[in-house]
Amino acid sequence: MASTDSEISVTDVAKAAKSAFEASQLLSADVRKLALEKIAARLESSKAAILAANGEDMEAAQVEVDAGRLSNALLKRLDLSRGDKWDAMVKGVWDVANLPDPTGIVTYATELDDDLELYRVTCPIGVLLIIFEARPEVVVNIAALAIKSGNAAILKGGKESTRTTLLLSRVISEGLAQTTLPSTYIQSVQTRAEVSALLALDQYIDLVIPRGGNSLVRNIQNSTRIPVMGHADGLCHVYLDESADPEKAVRIVLDSKVDYPSACNAAETLIVHMSLLHTVWPKVAKALLDADVRLLCDSHTLATLHTSQFPQEKLESHVSVASESSYDIEHLDLKLSVIALPSLHSAIQFINAHSSHHTDSIVTESQEAATTFCRGVDSAGTFINASTRFADGFRYGFGTEVGISTGRIHARGPVGLEGLVIYKYMMRSKADKGHVVGEFGVGKGKRSYKHAPIKTTTVPF
């Protein structure tokens, strides 16, 4: 009986979200901006209560950590009072409020005939179902992005942050209630069973955004007809080309690996051109070993290390032989898989076979090699002499980020507000008799299409 009850209630949640979305379409973008300002203010005035709830979540999680059932890393991600997290969260809402409105922008306009105008106009997608893991501030980030872009959203956070996210969701609803937007514009659910039930409701939910690991994304893709915008693994490569500058090689490999090893845009595999085995590779290896990076090497790169001047104990503690599967692992740690390959083309093929199509970088002084790499590597980001860590919505200039998509539909790479909109076509006839298709065609008295571009970025009606 419980499951039926929950099914009924999530159907109500989904219906309410759809209705809220539809109602919001007739409101102006100013209302959405106002809602974000109200939410930011309310977060500030509810800070003590939210941090108290977060403290309770932390205490409960500490018990799990002590019992070895939860990682310390997750505990840290849960903590909303850590560093400048709280301030960054609230500032994020203000920042999103002040970003340009991504909706209502005309991206194609043409006159089909005298007095018959067509406009392609950006608009929200509809109802988003967003599933994320531990970090409670994501509720606020994502709600802000959804509201700004005019989408209704249903949120499901990690179970460890239940008390915090419940309170954050309430504050968001209270902020919405101070505007003409429906308070059901942003809703949240608590259980996996509710998520499962929601994934079946493709008549109400238009897009699922899972923010988590590969397995979360694939599980969801397997169990819904609703489109999924997944941020899956980041298995990024750096390729040191024949003509790589040694200093650039050292700097870029090091930054790509050690700047933030658990990020999805960190490098996991280094490809070294065979010709660099005794020149650039030992320099890069030294920098990596000095930075405490463990190396999983193929026979070529390994042999060089053993003939170089590295301390034996360092080699023993930090260098091991790569297996075939080493090149398919997202280490997310101070570990790097290394392989030597004989050519740029073999490097491109290797990357296309092993990369998660997130971001891959070449270090080269050859313009031709750079061009070939950028075109041949089939990833969301292909970089020349730059760290893979640059793959990020803020760094790209989007102000904020929904996630990083490794899919190839709708949005690819770091996804900003633009990733949360689609478009619709609006057509207007101003002719005395309106416009009908039957008047167009081949033959006497038939009209033909004019297709004269209209220069505008806004809909004139």
* 11 or 349: CB nearest a second copy: 349
Stretch of 48-56, 61-69, 226-234, 310-318 lying at the interface with a second copy (CB under 8 A):
226-234
Q: Tokens at residue 243, please?
A: 């003509």
Which residue is associated with the tokens 């979540």? 57
Say how many residues make up the chain: 461
- Give the Cα separation of 45 and 436 in Å (integer): 57
Q: Which of 47, 85, 170, 251 binds a second copy (CB under 8 A)?
A: 251
Q: Is the CB of 334 or the CB of 459 nearer to a second copy? A: 459
In three-state secondary structure terms, 406 is coil
Residue span binding a second copy (CB under 8 A) among the ranges 72-80, 253-261, 275-283, 319-327:
253-261
Q: Restricting to residues 260-299, which ones interact with a second copy according to CB under 8 A? A: none
| Interface pattern 122-141 for a second copy (x via CB under 8 A) | ---xx---------------
Cα first-last separation, the chain: 51
| Mask for 331-360, x = binds a second copy (CB under 8 A) | ------------------x--x--------
Nearer to a second copy, 97 or 226 (CB): 226
Q: How many residues bind a second copy (CB under 8 A)?
A: 82
Restricting to residues 26-45, which ones interact with a second copy according to CB under 8 A? 26
Measured from the CB atom, the residue of 190 and 243 that comes closer to a second copy is: 243
Name which of 5 and 432 has its Cβ closer to a second copy: 432
Q: What are phi and psi of 363, to 5 degrees?
A: -110, 115
**Cβ closer to a second copy: 297 or 327?**
327
Q: Does 229 sit near a second copy (CB under 8 A)?
A: yes
DSSP 170-234: HHHHHHHHTSSS-GGGEEEE--HHHHHHHHT-TTT--EEEEES-HHHHHHHHHT-SS-B--B---
Least Å distance, CB 104 to a second copy, is 9
Nearest distance in Å: CB 275, a second copy: 19
- What b-and-e string marks burial along 296-322, b requiring 16 or more CB atoms within 10 Å of the CB? bbbebbbebbeeeebeeeebeebbeeb
- Binding a second copy (rule: CB under 8 A), the pick from 201, 254, 322, 402 is 254
* Least Cβ distance, residue 361 to a second copy (angstroms): 8
CA–CA distance, 194 with 190 (Å, rounded to integer): 7
Q: Is 145 in contact with 399 (CB distance < 8 Å)?
A: no
Beta carbon nearer to a second copy, 69 or 433 = 433
What's the CA gap between 42 and 55, in Å, rounded?
19
Residue nearer to a second copy on the CB measure, 48 or 425: 425
Site string for a second copy, 394-433 (x = CB under 8 A): xxxx---------xxxx-xxx-------xxxxxxxxxx-x
In sequence order, what are the beta bridge partners of 32?
Answer: none
Asked if 99 and 402 count as a contact pair (C-beta separation under 8 A), the reply is: no
- Minimum distance from CB of 197 to a second copy (Å)? 17
The residues in 142-201 that bind a second copy, with binding defined as CB under 8 A, are none
Positive/negative CA dihedral, 435, 124, 18, 170: negative
Chain centroid to Cα 235, Å, comes to 15
Contact with a second copy (CB under 8 A): which of 180, 183, 243, 385?
Answer: 385
- C-beta closer to a second copy: residue 117 or 133: 117
- Angle 325-330-336 (CA atoms, 0-180°, nearest 5)? 80
Packing angle of the helix pair 85-98, 137-149 (nearest 10 deg): 0
**Sole window of 56-64, 163-171, 287-295, 376-384 interacting with a second copy (rule: CB under 8 A):** 376-384
Query: Applying CB under 8 A, which part among 160-168, 248-256, 292-300, 307-315 lies near a second copy?
Result: 248-256
- 403-405 and 413-415 beta bridge pairing: antiparallel
Which residues are within 8 A (CB) of 51 and not within 5 positions of it... i.e. 6 or more apart? 80, 81, 86
User: Number of C-alpha atoms within 13 angstroms, CB side, residue 139?
Assistant: 34
Residues in region 95-124 near a second copy by CB under 8 A: 110, 112, 116, 118
| Least separation in angstroms between CB 260 and a second copy | 8
Q: Fill in the per-residue mask, 201 to 220: x = in contact with a second copy (CB under 8 A), - = not in contact.
A: -----xx----------x--
- Judged by CB under 8 A, the stretch of 61-69, 87-95, 300-308, 374-382 that binds a second copy is 374-382
Using CA atoms, how far apart are residues 187 and 10, in angstroms rounded to an integer?
A: 11
C-beta of 453: minimal distance to a second copy in Å? 9
Q: Report the candidate in 266, 274, 280 with the shortest Cα–Cα distance to residue 300.
A: 274
Candidates 39, 370, 402, 417: give the one binding a second copy (CB under 8 A): 370
Nearer to a second copy, 141 or 224 (CB): 224
Q: Please give the Cα distance from 57 to 400 (Å, whole number).
A: 27
